[in-house]
């Protein structure tokens, strides 16, 4: 459906329309994704942190700084989110033996089990863009990368 029909509005120009269209679409996709996460008792930043920890293949212990660099939402309060995940038993936090000011963060078996259970969630996320063919998804990714410069 065209954005004009969705929001019943007009635009100053095509750039304005593009920005509104992108914002509206992201919010719609984000809402659908959040509903999937809610079924597993996680927020989007919590899920993001757990995926970062599961994907840590650097060989280095994961610190709060390491996690912040890889977060989708750079404004997230990573320390607070880590506290919540630790309280749920999904991650471990230990003192760094080399630098006592830092904590070493790692995903637990319970956290890995939850992410394994959420594989269906990942497949459903892929379906959020199912209206696009493979070439269109590649073009979308290319254009989004270009927008970010």
Specify the pLDDT at position 1: 80
- Whole-angstrom Cα distance, residue 92 to residue 29? 31
Q: Mean pLDDT of all residues in the chain?
A: 88
Specify the pLDDT at position 130: 86
Domain boundaries, the chain: 42-116
- In this model, does residue 121 exceed pLDDT 80? no
pLDDT in tens, 19-41: 999 999 999 888 888 888 998 99
pLDDT in tens, 87-115: 999 999 888 777 777 788 999 999 999 99
Measure CA of the first residue to CA of the last residue in the chain; give whole Å: 28
φ and ψ at residue 91, rounded to 5 degrees: -140, 160
Instruction: Answer whether 52's CB lies under 8 Å from 62's CB.
Output: yes
Give the domain 42-116 fold. Arc Repressor Mutant, subunit A (1.10.10)
Specify the pLDDT at position 32: 84
Specify the pLDDT at position 72: 85
H helix intervals, the chain: 3-7, 14-38, 44-54, 64-70, 78-87, 109-117, 119-127, 134-148
User: What average pLDDT does the segment 43-63 reach?
Assistant: 87
């Amino acid at each position: 459906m065209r954005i004009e029909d969705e929001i019943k509005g007009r635009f100053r120009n095509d750039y304005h329309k593009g920005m509104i269209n992108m914002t509206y679409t992201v919010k719609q996709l984000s809402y659908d994704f959040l509903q999937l996460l809610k079924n597993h008792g996680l927020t989007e930043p919590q899920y993001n942190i757990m995926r970062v920890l599961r994907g840590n293949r650097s060989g280095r212990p994961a610190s709060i700084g390491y996690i912040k660099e890889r977060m989708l939402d750079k404004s997230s309060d990573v320390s607070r989110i880590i506290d919540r995940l630790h309280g749920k038993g999904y991650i471990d936090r230990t003192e760094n033996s080399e630098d006592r000011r830092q904590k070493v963060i790692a995903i637990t078996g319970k956290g890995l089990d939850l992410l394994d259970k959420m594989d269906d969630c990942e497949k459903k996320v892929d379906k959020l863009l199912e209206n696009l063919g493979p070439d269109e998804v590649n073009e979308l990714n290319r254009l989004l990368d270009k927008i970010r410069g």
